[in-house]
Amino acid sequence: MIPFLDLNEVNAPYLDAIEEASLRVIRSGWYILGNELKAFERSFASYCGVAHCVGVANGLDAISLILMAYEFPGESEIIIPANTYIASVLPVAYLGFKPIFVEPDPVTMLLDPDKIAEKVTSKTRAIIAVDLYGRICEMEPIMALARMHGLKVITDAAQAHGAIYQNKKAGSMADATAFSFYPTKNLGALGDAGAVTTEDEALAEKIRYLRNYGSQVRYKNDYQGVNSRLDEIQAAVLNVKLPFLDAENARRREIAARYLSEINVTDLILPPADRIQDDAWHLFVVRHADRSKFIAYLDANGIQTNVHYPLPIHKQQAFSEYNDLILPITERIHNEVISLPLNAVLTNEEVTYIIQTVNQFDYQQ
Ligand SMILES: *Cc1c(COP(=O)(O)O)cnc(C)c1O
């Protein structure tokens, strides 16, 4: 079986260095908000080409802390793509704001800039752009529109570490960007971790307070903050792995290029091929009207796939007040998407086998 993603293999090349770095932290006696985190924040900001990086506990908190820091009034409306992972939307809801779902572009499956303007009201305060699957949203029109209406732009780049748009890296274009270093992401820790990047010094500073009970001086609390810190062991792991992110992304791009040029199956829609060398290819998401048949066929031939995601947020029980919304493009995407294995540890032989097997699907019907 070719697994969808084998984290053991993903981390194998780094294990010696990770063991050494973790041991250094364990023996240092300093486990929270120390030098490993400081070093990672500096390196990741520099990697993204942005002034500030603040490490936090996970990607969900990164989004949540950005929203908290902006102190939007209650009932504010936040524009968000309907096709995303639920973590992009949860903080909007639990902080008391109203998510305004926008249908995605049917080809890129990302936030459609042409559909934002009609959603802006006097209560709109921000747009959350999600770089889903590793492709950066159309930031130029999104930023222009936001500036025109005085809105903040927050990017959820949890799937887009190292992705590029107009020569700029993910994390450097919006007012603030949220990253996750969940183990399966392009840059993954060995546990939970996340970060916020921004050019805005005041915002970065405020998030440094908020992640630590609203305090930067022990027992002096300036805000009602939370506990959302990126611990020293995870920071040490990320310090080991960050220098290899570009090489891993290059391998992902190589595999994506092969899939795009060699896969040729009737009725199978491939992702857009216009930015092969810029996308981070966190996931390679194809679409087929008879998804379950395609998945069963690949499974029977030893290829494990995944679905990102099977049920849209507005149809989830957790968002029952939105269940009556009808968003045909989003619903169709959720019914048709299949993620093929794509990660930096797939061998050329495995890639060839996946392509050949996929291409024989036509003859199996
Ligand atoms: C993984 C992910 C998150 C959440 O990250 P966690 O670290 O698991 O909290 C948010 N948004 C997107 C798009 C993600 O893929």
- What is the Å distance from ligand 1's center to 33 Cα? 22
Contact partners, residue 218, CB within 8 Å, separation at least 6? none
Dihedrals φ, ψ of 159, to 5°?
-110, 15
Tell me how far apart the alpha carbons of residues 64 and 164 are, in angstroms, rounded to a whole number: 24
pLDDT at 365 (0 to 100): 61
- What is the Å distance from ligand 1's center to 58 Cα? 8
Counting atoms of ligand 1 from 1, which one is nearest the CA of 60?
9
**For 116-135, how does the pLDDT look when each residue is reduced to its tens digit (9 = 90+)?**
999 999 999 999 999 999 99
In short, whether 343's Cβ falls inside 6 Å of ligand 1 is no
In short, whether 180's Cβ falls inside 6 Å of ligand 1 is yes
State the chain's maximal CA–CA distance in angstroms: 69
- Tell me: pLDDT of 88 over 80: yes
Mean pLDDT of the 341-361 span = 98
- What is the Å distance from ligand 1's center to 84 Cα? 10
Which of 56, 61, 80, 85 maximizes ligand 1 atoms within 8 Å of its Cβ, making it the mutation to test the pocket?
85
Token pair, residue 89, equals: 């939307």
- Tell me: pLDDT of 206 over 80: yes
- Tell me: pLDDT of 152 over 70: yes
In short, whether 58's Cβ falls inside 6 Å of ligand 1 is yes
pLDDT at 285 (0 to 100): 98
Which of 61, 86, 133, 156 maximizes ligand 1 atoms within 8 Å of its Cβ, making it the mutation to test the pocket?
156
- Tell me: pLDDT of 187 over 70: yes
Counting atoms of ligand 1 from 1, which one is nearest the CA of 63?
10
Dihedrals φ, ψ of 88, to 5°?
-65, -30
- Tell me: pLDDT of 364 over 90: no
- Run of H or E residues at 101: strand 98-102
Tell me how far apart the alpha carbons of residues 20 and 271 are, in angstroms, rounded to a whole number: 40
Mean pLDDT of the 178-194 span = 98
Portion of the chain with pLDDT greater than 90, in percent: 99
Residue 309: is the preceding peptide bond cis (ω within 30°)? Answer: yes
In short, whether 60's Cβ falls inside 6 Å of ligand 1 is yes
Which of 60, 211, 283 maximizes ligand 1 atoms within 8 Å of its Cβ, making it the mutation to test the pocket?
60
- Tell me: pLDDT of 362 over 90: no
DSSP string, 293-312: HHHHHHHHTTB--B-S-SS-
Ligand 1, atom 5, lies closest to the CA of: 59
Mean pLDDT of the 286-306 span = 97
| 99 closest CA partner among 117, 118, 70, 125 | 125
- Tell me: pLDDT of 233 over 80: yes
Mean pLDDT of the 19-42 span = 98
- Tell me: pLDDT of 199 over 90: yes
Ligand 1, atom 4, lies closest to the CA of: 59
- Run of H or E residues at 169: strand 168-169
- Run of H or E residues at 47: helix 35-48
In short, whether 179's Cβ falls inside 6 Å of ligand 1 is no
